[in-house]
Chains A and B, each alone.
Chain A
Amino acid sequence: EDQVTQSPEALRLQEGESSSLNCSYTVSGLRGLFWYRQDPGKGPEFLFTLYSAGEEKEKERLKATLTKKESFLHITAPKPEDSATYLCAVRGYNTNAGKSTFGDGTTLTVKP
């Protein structure tokens, strides 16, 4: 069965203080690893898809990386508007058609 564990559960940063969020996963044949951002009262918003170890994607202050066991979401010089819950999800080749396995998320707070 696919599993996703995210750490830390919560992260508080000062504005400009760079850090990383971790997503450890187990899956039988990775079809895709997905990062989402969720703001309070909203649905998750897609950020990145990673398909194979060594792949990297960037968007503004965010950079996602992937190994065979984990993914990192690096946040460089964060701003208060980066405060949100970040979710990681995986789909495997042996996963049934409708299912993505989500982690519990990391709640990021960036103080000005």
Chain B
Amino acid sequence: NAGVTQTPKFQVLKTGQSMTLQCAQDMNHEYMSWYRQDPGMGLRLIHYSVGAGITDQGEVPNGYNVSRSTTEDFPLRLLSAAPSQTSVYFCASRRGEGQPQHFGDGTRLSIL
């Protein structure tokens, strides 16, 4: 039982490049979320999904896209990378309302 798996673990991009951060969970959870974690700013919600085919914006969605074609996968796309998107990105899933979240180990992203 792998839980939540994120790839890659580390990535360096140049300004303007695009990339996709992968997230997969094997717990059959309906709810999935993407957060970014920055020093002094805690965990901030980027996008979330309440089931396959359903996504919505969080607090800081600009510059990011998501899709949810299957229950298991929830990729995060950076459209045109900017230095302000340098951060650690965490994917999380949970079984339902009022349930705790299960996190992956993060993707550390640097934009030069």
Count of inter-chain pairs, beta carbons less than 8 A: 66
A99 and B40 in contact, given A42-B105, A43-B104 (Cβ under 8 angstroms): no
Q: Quick one: which of A32, A45, A99, A104 contacts B42, CB cutoff 8 A? A: A104
Question: B105 — which chain A residues lie within 8 A by C-beta?
Answer: 41-43
A51 to B104, CA, bound (A): 24
Question: A44 — which chain B residues lie within 8 A by C-beta?
Answer: 43, 90, 101, 103
A89 to B43, CA, bound (A): 10
Q: Is the CB of B48 within 8 A of A98?
A: yes
A97 to B101, CA, bound (A): 13
Question: B48 — which chain A residues lie within 8 A by C-beta?
Answer: 97-99
B54, closest chain A residue (CB): A97
Q: Is the CB of A97 within 8 A of B43?
A: no
Q: Is the CB of B33 within 8 A of A98?
A: yes
Q: Which of A27-77 contact B (CB under 8 A)?
A: 31-32, 34, 36, 41-46, 49, 51
Report the count of interface residues on A (CB-CB < 8 A): 24
Q: Quick one: which of B42, B50, B99, B101 contacts A103, CB cutoff 8 A? A: B42
Q: Is the CB of A99 within 8 A of B45?
A: yes
Q: Is the CB of B98 within 8 A of A32?
A: yes
B interface list, Cβ under 8 A from A: 4, 31, 33, 40-43, 45, 47-50, 56, 58-59, 90, 92, 97-106
**3 closest A-B pairs by CB:** A98-B48, A43-B103, A46-B100
A-B contacts, 29 of them at CB < 8 A, read A32-B99, A34-B100, A34-B101, A36-B100, A42-B105, A43-B90, A44-B43, A44-B90, A44-B101, A46-B100, A49-B98, A49-B99, A89-B43, A91-B97, A96-B56, A97-B31, A97-B50, A97-B97, A98-B33, A98-B45, A98-B47, A98-B56, A98-B58, A99-B45, A99-B48, A99-B58, A100-B45, A100-B101, A104-B40
